[in-house]
Structure 1
Amino acid sequence: MDSDLPPIVVNEVQAVDQDRVLLGGKGAGLFWMASLGVPVPPFFMLTTRAWREWDEAGQLLEPHTSMIMEMIRWLEQRTGRTFGRGPRPLLVSVRSAGMVSMPGMMDTILNLGLTPEALGALHEEFRSLQIVGDVITTFVDTATPVFASQHGGKPVPRPVIPVAAQDQLVGAIEGVFASWNNHRARLYRRINRIPDEHGTAIVVQAMVFGNADAESGAGVLFTRDPVTGSGDPRGEWVAAAQGEAIVSGRMTPAPVHELACCQPDVFDQLLRIARCLEREAGEPQDIEFTVERGKLFLLQTRALKHTPLAGCRIVLALLDEGSITRDEAIQRLSSIDFADLAIEALVQPPADELLLATGLPASPGIAHGVVARDVGSAPSVTSERHPLVLLRPETSPHDLPVMRRAAALVTERGGLTSHAAIIARELRIPCVVGCGDLDSVRSGGEVTVDGAAGRLYAGRLATERSVPEIVRRARSLVAEGEEVSTT
């Protein structure tokens, strides 16, 4: 084999360039954190070269399978656990790692490696049927769609998930590779102009259990506010749960500062690491973490996705703090369209009886439209005269075709890091999440969504636009830079 070719499989202790093309953004971030001494669960990766060779062959090649199982043996040594059996079972996650983040668009499998023998040993370890039940549910919920999709429309066998741990792993890897070309991933790439030829890497990582006990949990930390750009860290935390509960939006989590109340030392460690990562990267970070029995692990870090106005405020704050130079600030601000940064506000405070719901302000702006509660019955054509407000218990990646047509999103469950919130900020539409029961809001009614205030009102309310002072300062700085460059 040509030694000049990039590797097919690598683990965290091997010397590799933190190359986003080869490792994807998630993989490059993991190698970067490991190099800084950040506590990261042991992992290995299949690179984008592995995806290309799988794509050409139409299946995972035997030499690749051998490399994967060799890495599993390495994971067993690193963790002191055994894959697919006791006495301490090793469970893994299998996640996509594209060069550009595509939140929720590709498949992920959690708690892989559950076999009849592993289940008994897992119960011996946790001594809790509820915890084991949660682990099984998450595995089945994330694995079933992946394995079912591999039958190309033919009748799906029962059981669809293989019993043997190696068969689960190989099938999961092939399924995640194949999800690069599923409908929602292709649509997302088309919307965001991501080239199809990038392909995806895969991260296989030892599971840590946020549901292990009362001192466990999962969360997300933003080093700066993604909606306003303020310097105060924001984020969310769910005690005694795995991270999928937050990202899916199935539950409305607590603010991340709740962790400071129950585990102050862990929270302080998290903030120290977060400040270090932001300083080293020179930009705000979006961090996923798990706490298992009082021990902190970071699962991912990436550049924070924020609103344009938040981006403007963040750049100026980094300049004031001395984290970036004036020239770097001008370069970053030059990519912002200042025409999009006017703030829309209600002309008058609405009457109390018009307020239908309050929730978390997940994406700013004001929009009005007709409520659609059911994705399947949402109108296929919308316009400025007949905009659509999508109201859902929570959204999923399968809702993307409707979400991109909506003027605003409102959900009953979920938080700032839920799928609905992330996609709304990308689409630059107002979003309010975690509103609670919205049964009283019927499809077809006209509403106004105030994403900055986190409120939903009945009827169409008048608005006005203004330009914040922070935008004037940013525009002036860019203009000064342009004058210097022309003299």
Structure 2
Amino acid sequence: MTGVYSFDHDHDGPARELGHLLGGKGAGLAEMTGALGLNVPPGFTITVPVCCEYLRTGWPTSLDAEIRAHIARLERAMGRQLGDPNDPLLVAVRSGAPVSMPGMLDTVLNLGLNDDTVLGLARRSGDDRFAWDSYRRFLTMFATTVMGLDEEALEPGTAGATPEQLRGQVHALRETIGELAGRPVPADPFQQLREAIEAVFRSWGSPRARAYRDRESIDESMGTGCNIQAMVFGNRGENSGTGVVFTRNPSTGEALPYGDYLPRAQGEDVVAGNTRTLPITHLAEHQPDAYTELMSTLRRLELHYRDVCDVEFTVEDGRLWLLQTRVGKRGAVAAVRIAVDMADDDAIALTPEEVLSRVPEPVRARARAEVAAEVLAPGTGSSLFATGLGASPGLVSGRVVLTAEDALCADEDVILVRTSTSPEDVAGMSASVGILTTRGGLVSHAAVVARDWGIPAVVGADRLAVTGDEIRSQDGLVVRAGEIITVDGGSGCVWIGEVRTAVADATSAVTERLPHLLRIEQWAGRREVSPA
């Protein structure tokens, strides 16, 4: 059996059911390409069993030939060649495990750039700044992801405003990488590709991936797929951008698209949490035609999967491209509302049995607790510290810790406060009762992981700054490590001090605010009394 499949391969069945073979991302790409005919950049998937073989015995002897054959096919489809100094094909190398592990596994974008191909990219695009910015991004990502260098040690700084500044940054970056790694980033695109694929496979065993699997009870032997896909560029001029969007709100369940968009950027800028993103509705102003097409596509995906979908997309020169879809993770309250609303949607029509399978009793219990927390209010002695984006509902109090290590060492409830979180922080996030970041949007790493784990989180509280062992607001308020704060992941409010219950009857409040839950309980009761 082959270990590599193109996205348009006919699997004689729904590709979305082949996550065990293609990984979740590969299955989604194949489903969007084949079953739905969506605008997906072409590419191919190296299967999960190949990763498992690599981790057991090393690089499979037949893999090089298979990859070269698929690259040749991709070159024909795109009309460009990998390594061509005049009109280079560039590719993205992305992981994709059978189960979603957001941000835990590795990615390399803009692969195929070197000192020659960057000139060809500049000529063909007519945009020197775009070409050198892409090269800067590639070198940084390859050095950190593949060569294992610390990004802070590279001192990449803010991207230069002019092509000349970016060119200087690239030359300085190449020298720094060579000094720190003892070798340069390889110029040969096929060598780049092999090393990037190996890095994706190795990332399955990274400490952050292990910590996430421990929390989620994911099988250690599962492995990941690896997807090689023609690059499309959200950083290519003013009419380009990138975003991540859910077909419905994964925190509240509201039937409106929910996500972030960033003009003139690449996907990692959105999820890393280091950049201030814009609400997805900004795309309607920035690129109205692309927005209209995206909204139509979101509905098609939701009807096809009969579930909420999480979609990554890029707009390149006004054209919409779909880069990923998967069934979206959601909070407990959202799970309740979405399941009932999809039962009422004639085009989806979930059965009561399907609703109960999606919202079992542990999820319903968590939803009750989350709604009860929504109707709490700050007690006397607490004062508003800041507001941000409510990314994961729930209201909790805890002592401030500023590093993942401090969260792991704490013996009481703590709230992890960071400028932004990264996959390296997951163990500390797991040990915290709440999360607060000063940067990032609704689909940043902190937001996605917190929602998945039911940890209340506020992100993008940009009037706060973390300095040394304290958090300082623009209004002059200061909270130090070890002091108590409260975060409300529903409203986005952060208070100094502890918040106490201010509602006498939380049960009636839950029923009033989440009537969907009562309907599910009725269905569950009927199933319990029905004959075997």
Report Cα offsets for 1:326-345 as digits up to 9, x if no partner.
33223333365322222214
TM-score, normalisation: structure 1? 0.93
In the alignment, the residues of structure 1 paired with residue 463 and residue 116 of structure 2 have an alpha-carbon distance, to the nearest angstrom, of 41
Aligned to 2:383: 354
1:350 Cα deviation from its structure 2 partner: 6.5
Match of 2:494 among 456, 462, 474: 456
Please name the residue that 1:420 is paired with: 446
Question: 2:205 corresponds to which letter in structure 1?
Answer: N
CA deviation map 1:443-476 (0-9, x unaligned): 2221110110001111111035442332222212
Would you say the 8 A contact 2:119–2:131 is kept in 1? Answer: no
| Paired letter, 2:130 | I
Q: How far, CA to CA, are the matches of 1:177 and 1:470 in structure 2? A: 42
Provide the residue aligned with 2:527 in structure 1.
Answer: 481
**Residue of structure 1 in register with 2:272 after alignment:** 248
- Cα pair distance change 1:348/1:190, threshold 3 Å: closer
- Give per-residue Cα distances to partners, 1:142-170, cap 9 Å, x unaligned: 211233249xxxx9633342121111001
| Letter of the structure 2 residue corresponding to residue 451 of structure 1 | G
- With over 3 angstroms needed to count, the CA separation of the structure-2 counterparts of 1:161 and 1:485, relative to structure 1, is farther
1:48 aligns with 2:52: no
**1:25-51 CA-partner distances (Å, limit 9, x unpaired):** 110100100011110001111112221
2:108 and 2:403 map into 1 onto residues whose CA distance is 27
Shift of 1:351: 7.9
Counterparts of 1:263-274 in structure 2, within 5 Å, are 263-274=287-298
1:233 aligns with 2:275: no
SS of 1:199 mapped into structure 2: coil
One-letter code aligned to 1:203: N
CA distance in 1, matches of 2:215, 2:110: 32
Structure 1's 305 and 374: CA in aligned 2 closer, same or farther, altered over 3 A? same
Aligned partners of 1:85 and 1:115 also within 8 Å: no
Deviation for aligned residue 1:196: 1.5
Q: Distance in 2 between matches of 1:31 and 1:45?
A: 9
Which residue number in structure 1 is paired with residue 211 of structure 2? 187
Which residue number in structure 2 is paired with residue 405 of structure 1? 431
**CA deviation after TM superposition for structure 1 residue 485, in Å:** 4.2
| One-letter amino acid matched to 1:341 | A
Kindly indicate whether the alpha-carbon contact (under 8 Å) linking 1:361 and 1:451 is maintained by their aligned counterparts in 2. Answer: yes
Report matched runs for 1:307-456 at 5 Å: 307-322=331-346, 323=348, 324-334=350-360, 336-342=362-368, 343=371, 344-345=373-374, 347-348=376-377, 354-376=383-405, 378-383=406-411, 386-439=412-465, 440=472, 441-456=479-494
Q: Please say if residues 111 and 139 of structure 1, whose CA atoms lie closer than 8 Å, have aligned partners that are also in contact.
A: yes
Tell me if the contact between 1:144 and 1:160 (Cα under 8 Å) persists in the aligned partners: no
Counterpart residue identity of residue 11, structure 1? S
1:208 corresponds to which of 216, 232, 235: 232
Deviations 1:260-279 (A, max 9, x none): 12222211111111101110
Q: Is the 8 A contact 2:343 2:355 kept in 1?
A: yes
| Counterpart for residue 196 of structure 2 | 172
Residues 201 and 348 (structure 1 numbering): CA distance in 2 closer, same or farther, change over 3 Å? closer
Could you tell me which of 5, 9, 13 is aligned with 2:4? 9
Identity of aligned residues (%): 37
Superposed CA RMSD: 2.0
CA distance, structure 1, for counterparts of residue 460 and residue 262 of structure 2: 14
1:217 aligns with 241
Do the aligned partners of 1:334 and 1:478 also contact (CA within 8 Å) in 2?
no
**What whole-Å deviation, never above 9, does each CA across 1:57-94 have from its counterpart, x for those lacking one?**
22x23421121112111111111112122322111111
Alpha-carbon distance, 1:242 to partner: 0.7
CA distance in 2, matches of 1:485, 1:295: 55
| Structure 1 unpaired stretches of 5+ | none
- After superposition, the Cα gap between the structure-2 partners of 1:485 and 1:32, relative to the gap in structure 1 and judged at 3 Å, is farther
Paired letter, 1:312: V
Does the 8 Å CA contact 1:213/1:240 hold for their aligned counterparts? yes
Structure 2 contact 403–428 (Cα < 8 Å) conserved: no
Give, as a single letter, the amino acid of the residue that structure 1 aligns with 2:41.
P
Q: Which moved more, 1:391-400 or 1:131-140?
A: 131-140
Cα separation, partners in 2 of 1:123 and 1:159, compared to 1, 3 Å = farther
SS at 2:248's partner residue?
coil
Q: Note if 1:24 corresponds to 2:53.
A: no
- Match of 1:148, SS state, is coil
Taking a change above 3 Å as real, the CA distance of residues 241 and 337 of structure 1, as seen in their structure-2 partners, is closer
- Asked if residue 73 in structure 1 is aligned to residue 72 in structure 2, the reply is yes
Report the more deviating stretch, 101-110 or 79-88: 79-88
* Counterpart residue number, 1:293: 317
Contact 1:330 1:481 survives alignment (8 Å)? no
Query: 1: distance between equivalents of 2:375 and 2:49?
Result: 52
Equivalent residue letter for 1:288: E
In structure 2, the CA distance between the partners of 1:398 and 1:161, relative to structure 1 (3 Å rule), is same
Assess if the C-alpha contact under 8 Å between 1:408 and 1:429 holds in 2.
Answer: yes
Normalising by the residue count of structure 2, what TM-score does the alignment of the two structures yield? 0.85
Q: State the alpha-carbon separation in 1 of the partners of residues 382 and 118 from structure 2.
A: 53
Is this contact kept in 2: 1:346–1:462, CA < 8 A?
no
